[in-house]
């Protein structure tokens, strides 16, 4: 019987993706428990030690709404001490952006809903009002911290539990409005796990045709088990940045009981097994689950790769053919 990994060929550096870890923000604000600040720091450091080089570490929102994020500034300060790490924070409005910029983040992410219903539920603004807010955030960045990058994440881009169908023309229109407002990148988010690979290919192709190299990350959820398939479909269309969460922590509150974000460990394994470099040591990444679980005892975590283990003969950093 042939060995499953019979030959190893060194990777080309041109074949690479960026895995952006969103667990410390998207994951933690989606669970009821609040992870102690010290545990957040240990977790972020473990992710960094595994080779993760972009982490969304917090969101700057009122503590009364999300007590899980009350320590955002302190967590950012810790992350800034890790050399070469891009420190990101989510900001829903100019007030949050001001606080994030004061804390020293390298990159802001702004949630902009493609669904009219989700926009009102998520940020209490219409889509048009949110585009105005994006302009205010860009102006604030330009005047106070011009080196900070800004990405808009188009949430509910593939469907919405509140509204149902989200027309693709509206997704592309909102993305173009974000670019016109001054953001550097626009990514697409499958907020409620509605996407399928054909839809992902089609929409990212349209996004790139509309906004060119401003086309950004794929943020996929695994609610219906299609997370990795959707990431691969996005990769086929030229996407090279992928959001993921260690242990699949978090997800959409409108899909209770289902696993949420794409599992970072499974995503890294998929790409590395394909010969696509991530720069992340998968063994150290799996070990980073320990501080996560210590900080959130009893919280369910997901991931087929940590459960099954790495295949016999698997050599990371090599392409198996």
Q: Name the residue among 225, 224, 228 with its Cα closest to residue 242.
A: 228
Burial zone of 308 (CB within 10 Å; 0-12 exposed, 13-18 middle, 19+ buried): exposed
Q: Report how many helices (DSSP H) and strands (DSSP E) the chain contains, helices first.
A: 12, 10
| Active-site entry in 160, 178, 231, 252 | 252
Do the Cβ atoms of 118 and 156 come closer than 8 Å? Answer: yes
Do the Cβ atoms of 180 and 208 come closer than 8 Å? Answer: no
pTM of the model: 0.93
pLDDT (tens, 9 = 90+) of the chain, 321 residues, equals: 333 443 333 334 447 999 999 999 999 998 989 999 999 999 999 999 999 999 999 999 999 989 999 999 999 999 999 999 999 999 999 999 999 999 999 999 999 999 888 888 777 888 899 999 999 999 999 999 999 999 999 999 999 888 889 999 999 999 999 999 999 999 999 988 899 999 999 999 999 999 999 999 999 999 999 999 999 999 999 999 999 999 999 876 655 555 689 999 999 999 999 999 999 999 999 999 999 999 999 999 999 999 999 999 898 864 433
DSSP 29: G
User: CA angle at residue 241 from 193 to 123, to 5 degrees?
Assistant: 50
DSSP 212-242: GGGEEEEE-B-TTS-HHHHHHHHHHTT--EE
Q: Which is it for the CA torsion 36, 42, 45, 47, positive or negative?
A: negative
Do the Cβ atoms of 193 and 158 come closer than 8 Å? Answer: no
**β-bridge pairing 86-90 and 107-113:** parallel
Q: What is the pLDDT of residue 292?
A: 98
User: CA angle at residue 153 from 82 to 66, to 5 degrees?
Assistant: 70
252 counts as catalytic:
yes
User: CA angle at residue 230 from 105 to 107, to 5 degrees?
Assistant: 10
78's tokens: 């810790």
Q: What is the pLDDT of residue 258?
A: 54
Q: What is the pLDDT of residue 308?
A: 97
Do the Cβ atoms of 186 and 211 come closer than 8 Å? Answer: yes
Q: Name the residue among 109, 99, 100 with its Cα closest to residue 134.
A: 109
């Amino acid at each position: 019987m042939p060995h499953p990994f019979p030959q190893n060929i060194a990777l080309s550096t041109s074949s690479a993706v960026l895995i952006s870890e969103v667990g410390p923000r998207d994951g933690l604000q989606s669970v009821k428990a609040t992870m102690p600040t010290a545990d957040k720091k240990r977790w972020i450091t473990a992710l960094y030690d595994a080779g993760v080089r972009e982490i969304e570490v917090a969101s700057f929102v009122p503590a009364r709404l999300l007590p899980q994020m009350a320590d955002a500034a302190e967590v950012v300060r810790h992350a800034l001490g890790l050399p070469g790490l891009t420190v990101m924070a989510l900001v829903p409005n100019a007030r949050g952006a001001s606080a994030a910029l004061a804390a020293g983040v390298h990159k802001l992410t702004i949630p902009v809903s493609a669904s009219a219903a989700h926009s009102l539920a998520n940020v209490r603004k219409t889509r048009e009002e949110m585009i105005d807010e994006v302009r205010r955030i860009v102006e604030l960045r330009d005047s106070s911290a011009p080196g900070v990058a800004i990405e808009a994440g188009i949430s509910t881009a593939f469907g919405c539990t509140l509204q149902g169908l989200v027309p693709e023309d509206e997704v592309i229109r909102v993305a173009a409005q974000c670019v016109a407002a001054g953001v550097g990148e626009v990514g697409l988010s499958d907020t409620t796990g509605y996407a399928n690979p054909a839809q992902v290919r089609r929409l990212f192709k349209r996004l790139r045709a509309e906004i060119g190299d401003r086309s950004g990350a794929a943020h996929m959820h695994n609610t219906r088990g299609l997370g990795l398939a959707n990431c691969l479909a996005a990769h086929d269309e030229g996407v090279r940045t992928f959001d993921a969460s260690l242990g699949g922590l978090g997800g959409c509150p409108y899909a209770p009981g289902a696993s949420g974000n794409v599992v970072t460990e499974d995503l890294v394994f998929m790409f590395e097994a394909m010969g696509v470099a991530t720069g992340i040591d998968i063994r150290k990444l799996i070990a980073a689950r320990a501080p996560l679980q210590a900080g959130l005892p009893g919280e369910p975590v997901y991931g087929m790769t940590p459960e099954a283990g790495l295949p016999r003969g698997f050599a990371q950093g090599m392409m198996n053919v």
